[in-house]
Structure 1
């Protein structure tokens, strides 16, 4: 079955890659409209399968359709292909040929749906939308935790294929939830690239499958992180209550089931930190537990949290006072001294859920040591006043080496979909820190550059023809032009 699906995807790619930017834009907009037309049926089914509340899912559906329309707008504007032209110079010795370069689609893309975002990172989410925009065909392996939701969305895409006269099998939906099916999809000869959002274990496995192929392919896995937050002394002194409440909300948002959940807080000991911890503890104590996405995540949360709490020197300082019910999380915060943290690798691992560990440092040198000891992250955050940033300016040099997004005086939860967003980071946050999984630049994961040398104008893609029939921005002899 997988062999047939991938062969069909490859056959469809031959035609789909040649479709115009405008026709693909209309296709994406039609998908968005079709998803919206599913109405409350879609929201109800997703809520039933994921335990997520209807308002959260309604907002996520809006983000999903917005992403599709964002890529449609990108296609119409056109500069995303990065067209560049270096005209011939016969007087140069040796003679300089005419060179024209642009980005072209790589081929069939396999997308693995995410458990925690049934819309925005799943069947018609950012990976699928950006790959279809690039001109790639897509095969989605629906996540078993919300397979009925995934099937409904897949139907909306398939209806858009028919309505927009796109090649059959431009998009295909796989419901086989076995590990064998996932491995077969990654290792099939026709698969050109893979997109994944989920655990480190799953993302690394897919990466290894791809590397073991006769012809290795890129796997763009976003595998989560602990998103370290540095709490600087002056802001803990003057903004104690507001910062504590802000972070209690971020730690427990969606029962902590975000890849940008602040799982690690780092601060220097002092009275301000003591007051912060007191307020944070009271806020966490008052949080009402809610159901997690599925039994697997629920089980893993409690197992990993208890493993962390059982480590030497770790102290539980806050926990929701309400007794959790079936599949409900129990928001918790613990503390540990920096010296212990630096010697215990287990404490560096992600606990996916409403849990955060506060590392207490003796001074700035120890804080830097803790921060530098961490592996790659999706985000890192600095909470400080102007006085803090002036006093601890050297910290700003550390942040870019750690994460793909640096947050100042905010929370990492909440990822804006825009051209400037980076949702990725050094390994193991993602498998390729040069790319983002969110925003228009996510399309660059599914394309590669091709250069046409001394090609007759009539044979060139429209993006590179002398007359610039599409009217897009191009770099012509090192000058950006539209003419």
Structure 2
């Protein structure tokens, strides 16, 4: 395995002021992994931000006319350098997370494809939303000045690595890639569970920055096993936005820190959900056995450690629903135990299972699976729509291979249960065509659409396609801003702001707004979409 140094990467330089004491553990065995890392010091954080501010000034669209081309080349180079890490990256990520090699290889591919997608988006350029309203000097009673508007980078962005996606939502993952694509310098905080993986990717980004002659401060990586580092990053006066994927508690803490600043900044936090799945009677009559098997596969995928894990299944009462629950229990029992991401997550999952088992409003379904204390076992619970309303904790995310079956009696019972849910990343409806399900779908879909960012008709929510039309984010508490997504090219919009230039000298006008339209963009000129030069 490639030798690791355990230091912070501050604008291309390796640095560690404090004594290194924290070590990640091998997820499967609990064995400590070298090297040790330390919390970033205040001086190191200041240095990272000072370099990021300098990089932001150098990458200003009013200063750098070739920003789009340089940024696209940089993103592609990052992907190439990550690919060049080869087996070393896969081996380290597998050791630190317990995720199987195939999953890590797939996630590496997703990470590289994200970078390339953003490179293509930036190179094409229309994402800046260029608008021009030409001057009307003869207009009465007041002449109109020349007005030109586009999106520009907000400035230094703090990105927090996610525990469950060591590559795709980490140092070079969706938040970092979209911020870099917008032209923002990134200061990434490595997740304490996989510092080695983070270091390898951080070195790849640093190498790409040098290769592409980007300002050194365009990227820094800091370690921070303690929560104090995260708070210091968010509160730093030079931070302009935050990207976070994790728990509701963690996201709320960052939101409160950002809001308490003299100048509050946005925190784009994706904080998970229970992703309710509604099964209608016709669907269960047609394919109940298959749906039970598929539901079990989705619940246990990645040992249940996905923010899109189907944590609540709404199943009709009666014999058809009974057969589905029995089939689901059988399939979950056959799935067996799995290695969870780290001991803390395993302990939290076990506490959550015990708390739910102790609830007077839920009943645990016996499963046949067994496993050692170091593994996460599937768990299944049942309740009724009425009991669900009496115990709000049953709607809370239980991070791991567990799900809750809610039995509903009739349409009113189902709709009342759905009305009780808070914001979710996704919701799913399984219905049969040419049956009574169709009428119920028309009643259920609007209720769900008001609570989710992605509404599925068939299938299961795990497995988020990375493409321009994907929405990964929903109303609170699924995410902090339901208007944004953390997956897909629209994620770039989080880290840009509009700038209007009024009567600007031609020498200061960025290419996207220039008369000759050198980038060939589709622009809104005097209210009309066109690619023509002025």
TM range (shorter): over 0.9
Report matched runs for 1:93-108 at 5 Å: 93=140, 94-108=142-156
**Could you tell me how far apart the structure 1 residues matched to 2:178 and 2:116 are?**
11
Does structure 1 retain, via aligned residues, the 8 Å contact 2:361–2:391? no
How far apart are residue 267 of structure 1 and its match?
2.4
Matched, 1:84 2:124: no
Matched, 1:48 2:95: yes
Aligned residue for 2:340, secondary structure, equals coil
**Could you tell me how far apart the structure 2 residues matched to 1:428 and 1:410 are?**
24
Report matched runs for 1:338-357 at 5 Å: 338-357=385-404
**Paired positions, count:** 482
**Could you tell me how far apart the structure 2 residues matched to 1:172 and 1:278 are?**
51
**Could you tell me how far apart the structure 2 residues matched to 1:309 and 1:91 are?**
76
Among 382, 389, 394, the residue aligned to 2:438:
389
> Root-mean-square deviation (CA), in Å?
1.1
Aligned residue for 2:217, secondary structure, equals coil
Gaps of 5+ in 2: 1-43
- Who is 1:447 aligned against? 496
**1:436-469 residue CA offsets vs partner (Å, 9 max, x unmatched):** 0000000000000111122233321110011101
Gaps of 5+ in 1: none
How far apart are residue 13 of structure 1 and its match?
1.3
- Who is 1:158 aligned against? 206
- Who is 2:319 aligned against? 271
Matched, 1:313 2:356: no
- Who is 2:190 aligned against? 142
Does structure 2 retain, via aligned residues, the 8 Å contact 1:372–1:398? yes
Among 77, 83, 95, the residue aligned to 1:36:
83
- Who is 1:329 aligned against? 376
Among 424, 439, 453, the residue aligned to 1:377:
424
**Could you tell me how far apart the structure 2 residues matched to 1:16 and 1:177 are?**
31
How far apart are residue 88 of structure 1 and its match?
2.2
Aligned residue for 1:144, secondary structure, equals coil
How far apart are residue 391 of structure 1 and its match?
3.9
Among 461, 473, 477, the residue aligned to 1:428:
477
Report matched runs for 1:15-414 at 5 Å: 15-17=58-60, 18=64, 20-93=67-140, 94-319=142-367, 321-386=368-433, 387=435, 388-414=437-463
How far apart are residue 16 of structure 1 and its match?
2.8
**Could you tell me how far apart the structure 1 residues matched to 2:238 and 2:508 are?**
27
How far apart are residue 184 of structure 1 and its match?
0.6
Aligned residue for 1:435, secondary structure, equals coil
**1:257-296 residue CA offsets vs partner (Å, 9 max, x unmatched):** 0000000011221221111111111111111211100001
The TM-score, its normalising length taken from structure 2, stands at: 0.89
How far apart are residue 96 of structure 1 and its match?
2.3
**1:187-239 residue CA offsets vs partner (Å, 9 max, x unmatched):** 00000000000000001100000000000000000000000111111101111
